[in-house]
Structure 1
Amino acid sequence: MESKLLNQINVEKLPESLQDLVDCIGVTAAYQLSLHFGGQPLYVPKNPERSVLLKRVGYEALNKLSYRFAGATIEIPKHDHFDRQLRDLAIIEESLRGASRKELAQKYGLCLRHIGNIRKGAV
């Protein structure tokens, strides 16, 4: 579900620091960074080949990150910024497939009004 929906993320609704990461390495790699290092400072190595980050974001994304932030420590935002949008996209998708507001509210732990707002695009 997440990988398909990640391409539908509205980057403009993300915090500026995440927008910068998405601009640099793409939405999927930025999401992976926020999943594994969200809420923490992260040192970006000058030499990406010897970095533990290679496993998390891949060679191409790490090279781009290194080129832009080499030797700096950057703050990685938490992944909940992505998660809210992914949840809302999943709710809209399930709604289009016929799920009721009540079913969605129970599944996602939200009130009926919030589900209605998400379905209308008000959130």
Structure 2
Amino acid sequence: MISDLEIKMLPHQTQYLFKLIGFLDGYTLLKEFGGQDIYIPQNPNRSKLIKFISSQSLTQLSNIYGGTYISVPTTKKIDTCARNNLVINDLKNGYSRAIIAKKFNLSVRQVTNIKRKYFSYI
């Protein structure tokens, strides 16, 4: 799971979406429609989005964005933050940078960069 600190590091549009409809529905929306413009109907009962997110979340979106298109960001930043969190946990557990780099298919330098970036927040 992604921490509050990491959510603050995400793009503002993604943060707002998570605040509006919650992390789970927000992430599902990003995973299904990331990189696309989607139409948010004024009447939530007329939307194909009900197959992917809760009716409560869809109602929230319709109340704010009903009748318009929204650009849905991709999950790349979220996935990177989650991976970086796993890297930091492995570093805290004493694994070497070389082992971590191999585990996550990264370079040792990239693991060092992640360590430098995240340990400044810890």
TM-score range, shorter-chain basis?
A: 0.7 to 0.9
Q: Which stretch has the larger CA shift, 72-81 or 60-69?
A: 60-69
SS in 2 for 1:57: coil
Instruction: Give yes or no for the alignment of 1:87 onto 2:99.
Output: no
Q: Which stretch has the larger CA shift, 51-60 or 32-41?
A: 51-60
Measure the CA separation in 2 of the matches of 1:9 and 1:54: 30
Note closer, same or farther for the CA distance 1:60–1:7 as it changes in structure 2 (3 Å cut): farther
Q: What is the TM-score of this pair, normalised by structure 2? A: 0.84
Q: Which stretch has the larger CA shift, 54-63 or 78-87?
A: 54-63
Instruction: Give yes or no for the alignment of 1:14 onto 2:7.
Output: no
Give the counterpart letter for 1:54 in structure 2.
I
Measure the CA separation in 2 of the matches of 1:71 and 1:77: 19
RMSD between aligned alpha carbons? 2.0
Structure 2, gaps ≥5 residues long: none
Structure 1, gaps ≥5 residues long: none
Q: What is the TM-score of this pair, normalised by structure 1? A: 0.83
Give the number of the structure whose alpha-carbon radius of gyration is greater. 2
Kindly tell me the number of residue pairs found equivalent between the two proteins.
119
Give the counterpart letter for 1:81 in structure 2.
K
How far the C-alpha of 1:27 sits from its partner, in A, is 2.1
Instruction: Give yes or no for the alignment of 1:74 onto 2:73.
Output: no
Note closer, same or farther for the CA distance 1:86–1:117 as it changes in structure 2 (3 Å cut): same
How far the C-alpha of 1:94 sits from its partner, in A, is 2.7
Counterpart pick for 1:58 among 31, 54, 57: 54
Equivalent in the alignment of 2:93:
97
Counterpart pick for 2:30 among 21, 31, 34: 34
